[in-house]
A and B are shown apart, each in its own frame.
Chain A
């Protein structure tokens, strides 16, 4: 018997989850799988759609790992429409006239935005908010608009309002009901949310029934409300709820709900047992679930059912939700309105801090039925667990929402949760599963998240996952081991402080006073060298320090795969005179160095032998070049766009600022490399938000971003401070860098450092801007010391005949390394491959023989 063919219609979050689940099941090889999507993109994260306007790309939002379809032998069709299901012949019809047979069909067609039948709804510059394509249209429409209105003040409407705000529009929200988020919040909550959102510059109009949209006087449209009032705007976004996309199912005669939705049973089967429906198109127990977590559960059930595990059933889902709407924390759990007969509630209203918390408990005050959290939702995870698991709540339920007081908030700790507590509802991960993984050795938060998938979808449970990790480690008496290596029972941060406080300047002293043995290793020696350099900034090839340096630092160049080195002179800000550029070319030509432009706007010269390095650098130094420190865990480059000097759009001199920063921080050694960039306007051509330190010019000064990263795990930088003067920019950067240098782990980039820093960016802001630790001056002084003791390491080296002696390959011969062999490609040399080396061995004697 051939493989059974399963076709999934709809390549959204839920359809994709179905494939992901099947791919993990051992039975999946019995099936031939195909997924069809009408959008040009394959599955992406619709929950975080508004981030498309705050800088994320369609690629960032994608849920499909590279090669996912190939690796799992899945077929995929995008921009493809299915027009009909022929259940009798078990085939689907495509819009292009083709047919395809199926054995099992999974409908994951999702929903469409509901647009109320208001006259004028079809005017131009009126949009809905559902897909990346919608967002592109909105962005296009926003270009010529000043004012935008979202019709609908629900959860999605507020997300959409954030999108309009990010696009720079004056933003309004119009809601039919008397309050915002009427489904999830009570009146008090709705009112506080309104206040908070209005403080952020979004106007909220409630109890407004839009009757008609006509031409506006001052703006493009005019919204006319039933109460006679009106509102003018250029752009309109409908976000008035969703409706299941069930027309395919309806045409094919499947059972439908009275108000739409494809009826499914507990196995997620429709009235045709070979057709399943999952996600927002499916109607279970007369309910449509408009959240992603229940859709994921259905996807898993359907996958298991199709792969012959009949035991997995869909038994309903929790509609609790936690979101950051326009930066405001909002959460709603279970029976938030207290509609359960006999239920009681506790409320905390904190006008000062803009916090509202409410818990709803049963008549016996034993169980938590629901909750609302606005302004602060840290306890969401724990409260949700109490509600979902019906676990007994504290005798005084008010403790659940009262502010923590000398740690007597213990009732709320994760330890109180039962093992079966579902921590991540998106990916159905229980507390027991997390604890087991921790016990098996998964003691790093990132690792725990990636191996369990907990906290990787909506992210709402991430703090809870961290708490479980910490509590489980503590329970096992297992402190997170921070020892640098077998020679030092300290973390890098601790060693840094030991060295600073005790003014330790040599490895011998450090290991004697605080370590074990007297030799060290390839981990502690370079770490110590880096700490000494950050603190005391002595010449790194001093006799005491030379033996600690990695080969890159030792030879002041970057070792390549064949043992030769690359040479990168500093080109501050990426600005270089034609004369100096010519020198680089001449040197490269003279020594036959492979030449490539780097991502940091410099020139990298590859293939220099150890014995060539001093000669090359003598020529470069004579021409006015300095070491670029490309070999060090240190400040690398400050990339810049051309800025206001030449660019029509630039608002500040980004090149000048970049050169200033690079000159200031050049040579600064740190736990890992540091990359900077400066953009001359908000178009961000220097990509500063992907750097450790990113500076973006504004009309009023400079925005300072920190802890961004490109590379393996891209991370957008966080805004540390806005509209800074030149002076404040330097002061904050000094403090930020030194704070990172004194607290980070070995080889920890700023991005990872921040992700692991308790309190995150707010804590960094507090330290850097508010000087909350009172160390601002100290950090600045440390930085000034490093800046004042800068030296070009290459200049120092070529001036010392003693140091120059080290740059030979053989200590007993003038020959150079005979292992080095090159071939030419695209006009330059490159290391020969093994096969090419072999060939050279074979052909050279042959040629010699032939000429004799």
Chain B
């Protein structure tokens, strides 16, 4: 899922939204990892001013490293390459390009003022 940095969200008192960090702390093309709930991890990226969040857990290595992957454009789809075994995961859908049967969880994001928030679902 993605959201633009400039989008102004219509905020409610919904408790499922959690703080990630101030948006200026996220740099283009360099991922960060956010703790979601008690033990979920999300990898968050900013590419061309849009934010994306998918699971940080690399299913091929069982290591929490997706946020440290490189952003790629592979045949038109925006992905991140796992730093361990180099599989590519689509930032929009979480689908693995090399193995369609593998899909990472995606998260909704929103910008609340200058703070990026993630939805814990």
Q: Which residues of A contact B (CB under 8 A)?
A: 486-487, 517-522, 525-526, 543, 546-548, 550-551, 554-555, 559, 561-563, 805-806, 809-813, 815, 817-819, 834
CB-CB < 8 A to A486: which residues of B?
A: 74-75
Q: How far is the CB of A683 from chain B (nearest CB, A)?
A: 41
Quick one: CB contact mask for B80-95 with A, threshold 8 Å, 1 for yes? 0101101010000000
Question: Looking across the interface, which residue of chain A has its beta carbon closest to that of B18?
Answer: A812
Task: Give the chain B neighbours of A517 by CB distance below 8 A.
Answer: 73
Q: Which residues on the A side are within 8 Å of B32 (C-beta)?
A: 811
The reply to whether B64 and A563 contact each other, CB–CB distance below 8 Å, is yes
Chain A min CB distance to B115 (Å): 10
Q: How far is the CA of A561 from the CA of B58 in the complex (A)?
A: 11
Q: Is the CB of A559 within 8 A of B64?
A: no
Please judge, given known A-B contacts A487-B73, A547-B27, A810-B35, whether A834 and B62 are in contact too, CB under 8 Å. yes
- Provide a sorted-by-A list of 13 A–B residue pairs whose CB atoms are within 8 angstroms: A521-B74, A522-B88, A543-B27, A548-B70, A555-B68, A559-B68, A563-B61, A563-B84, A809-B33, A810-B35, A811-B25, A811-B32, A812-B18
Q: A522-B86, A811-B34 are in contact. Are A819 and B62 (CB under 8 A)?
A: yes
Q: Judge whether A551 and B73 touch: CB under 8 Å.
A: no
Is B104's CB within 8 Å of the partner chain A? no
A812 x B20 contact (CB < 8 A):
yes
B72 engages A561 (CB within 8 Å): no
Q: Is the CB of A559 within 8 A of B84?
A: yes
- Decide: A520 near B64, CB < 8 A? Known: A550-B83, A812-B34, A819-B57: no
Q: Does B65 contact A (CB under 8 A)?
A: yes
Asked whether A547 lies within 8 Å of B30 as measured between CB atoms, the reply is yes
**CB of A485, distance to nearest CB on chain B (Å):** 9
**Cβ contacts under 8 Å, B26 to chain A:** 811
Determine how close the nearest CB of chain B comes to the CB of A800; give it in whole angstroms: 14
- Please give 5 more A-B residue pairs, beta carbons under 8 A apart, in addition to A550-B83, A815-B35: A521-B74, A522-B88, A526-B70, A543-B27, A554-B68
A383–B52 alpha-carbon span in the complex (Å): 64
Q: Is the CB of A521 within 8 A of B20?
A: no
Q: Considering the chains assembled together, what is the distance between the CA atoms of A554 and B61 in angstroms?
A: 20
Kindly provide the distance from the CB of B107 to the nearest chain A CB, expressed in whole angstroms. 13
Q: CA of A42 to CA of B100 in the docked complex: distance in angstroms? A: 47
Contacts of B19 in A (CB 8 A): 812
Given contacts A546-B27, A812-B34, are A521 and B81 in contact (CB under 8 A)? yes
Distance (whole angstroms) from the CB of A442 to the closest CB of chain B: 23
Quick one: which of B21-76 are within 8 Å of A by CB? 21, 25-30, 32-35, 39, 41, 44, 47-48, 57-58, 61-65, 68-75
A residues near B108, Cβ cutoff 8 Å: none
User: Is B78's CB within 8 Å of the partner chain A?
Assistant: yes
- Going nearest first, the 3 A-B pairs with the smallest beta carbon separation are A547-B29, A563-B63, A521-B72
- Report A470 CB to chain B, min CB distance, Å: 30
Identify the closest chain A residue to B30 (Cβ): A547
Which A residues are in CB contact (< 8 Å) with B83?
550-551, 559
* A543 proximity list for chain B (CB < 8 A): 27
Which of A559, A805, A819: most chain B CB closer than 10 A?
A819
- With beta carbons under 8 angstroms apart, the residue of B34, B63, B88 that contacts A819 is B63
Q: Given A559-B84, A563-B65, are A547 and B71 neighbors across the interface (CB < 8 Å)?
A: yes
Q: Once the chains are docked, how many angstroms separate the CA of A240 from the CA of B30?
A: 72
Q: How far is the CA of A546 from the CA of B102 in the complex (A)?
A: 29
Which chain A positions have C-beta within 8 A of B25? Answer: 805, 811
> Which residues of the partner chain A approach B64 to less than 8 Å between Cβ atoms?
563, 809, 817, 819
Tell me which of B63, B81, B86 contacts A561 (CB under 8 A). B63
What's the A-B contact tally at a CB cutoff of 8 Å?
A: 96
Distance A813 CA – B19 CA, assembled complex (angstroms): 10
Cβ of A537 to closest chain B Cβ, rounded Å: 22
Closest-CB distance, A489 to chain B (whole angstroms): 15
CB distance from B53 to the nearest CB of A (A): 12
A554 to chain B, nearest CB (A): 7
Q: Is the CB of B71 within 8 A of A813?
A: no
Which residue of B28, B34, B58, B86 is within 8 Å of A547 (Cβ)?
B28
CB distance from A104 to the nearest CB of B (A): 48
B35: which A residues are within 8 A, CB to CB? 810, 812-813, 815
Q: Which residues of A contact B74 (CB under 8 A)?
A: 486, 521
Query: Are B68 and A551 in touch, CB under 8 angstroms?
Result: yes
Complex CA distance for A219 and B75, rounded to whole angstroms: 76
Residues in B neighbouring A520, C-beta threshold 8 A = 72-73
Interfacial chain A residues near B62, Cβ < 8 Å: 819, 834
Complex interface: chain B residues within 8 A of A811 (CB): 20-21, 25-26, 32-34, 44
A550: B residues at CB distance < 8 A? 70, 83
Instruction: Kindly state the separation between the CA atoms of A819 and B88 in the bound complex, as whole angstroms.
Output: 21
A559 in contact with B27 (CB, 8 Å): no
Beyond A561-B63, A561-B84, A563-B64, is A810–B72 a contact (Cβ under 8 Å)?
Answer: no
User: What CA separation (Å) do A727 and B92 show in the bound complex?
Assistant: 57
Write out the residue numbers on chain A whose beta carbons fall within 8 Å of the beta carbon of B86. Answer: 522
Q: How far is the CB of A311 from chain B (nearest CB, A)?
A: 45
Q: Are A525 and B70 closer than 8 Å at their CB atoms?
A: yes
Write the chain B residue with the least CB distance to A817. Answer: B64
- Hey, which chain A residues are within 8 Å of B57, CB to CB? 819
CA distance A275 to B30 in the complex (A): 71
| A805 / chain B contacts, CB cutoff of 8 Å | 25
In the bound complex, residues from chain A placing their C-beta under 8 Å from that of B84 are 559, 561, 563
Closest partner residue, chain A, to B65 (CB atom): A563
Contacts of B34 in A (CB 8 A): 810-813
Q: How far is the CA of A548 from the CA of B83 in the complex (A)?
A: 13
Task: Chain A residues near B20: list those with CB within 8 A.
Answer: 811-812
The distance in angstroms between the C-alpha atoms of A487 and B71, with both chains bound, is 13
Query: In the assembled complex, which residues on chain A have CB atoms less than 8 Å from the CB atom of B68?
Result: 551, 554-555, 559, 563
Instruction: Enumerate chain B residues within 8 angstroms of A525, measured Cβ to Cβ.
Output: 70, 72
Chain B residues closer than 8 Å to A551, beta-carbon distance: 65, 68-69, 83
Q: Is the CB of A519 within 8 A of B72?
A: yes
- Bound state CA distance, A518 and B49, in angstroms? 13
Cα distance, A815 to B64, chains bound together (Å): 13
Contact A519 B70 (CB under 8 A): no
A561 to B65 Cα, complex, angstroms: 10
Q: How far is the CA of A517 from the CA of B30 in the complex (A)?
A: 18
Instruction: Tell me the complex Cα distance, A813–B27, Å.
Output: 18
A133 → B minimal CB distance (Å):
46
Decide yes or no: A559 and B65 within 8 Å by CB, A521-B81, A811-B21, A819-B57 being known contacts.
yes
Residue of A nearest to B22 (CB): A811
Smallest CB–CB gap between B50 and chain A, Å? 12
Closest B-chain residue to A519, C-beta based? Answer: B73
Count chain B CB atoms within 10 A of each CB in A486, A521, A526, A811 and give the residue with the most.
Answer: A811
Q: Which of A518, A520, A555, A809 has the most CB of B within 10 A?
A: A809
Q: Which chain B residues border A546 with CB–CB below 8 Å?
A: 27, 30
CB–CB B78/A519 < 8 A: yes
Q: A522-B81, A546-B30, A561-B84 are in contact. Are A812 and B21 (CB under 8 A)?
A: yes
Distance of A338 Cα from B23 Cα, bound (Å): 87
A809 partner residues in chain B, CB cutoff 8 A: 33, 64
A562 contacts across to B, CB distance below 8 A:
61, 63
A803 smallest CB distance to B (angstroms) = 11
User: B72 — which chain A residues lie within 8 A by C-beta?
Assistant: 519-522, 525
Cα(A525)–Cα(B48), bound, Å: 16
Task: Tell me, rounded to whole Å, the shortest Cβ–Cβ distance linking B90 to chain A.
Answer: 13
In the complex, what residues of B have CB within 8 A of residue A563's CB? 58, 61, 63-65, 68, 84
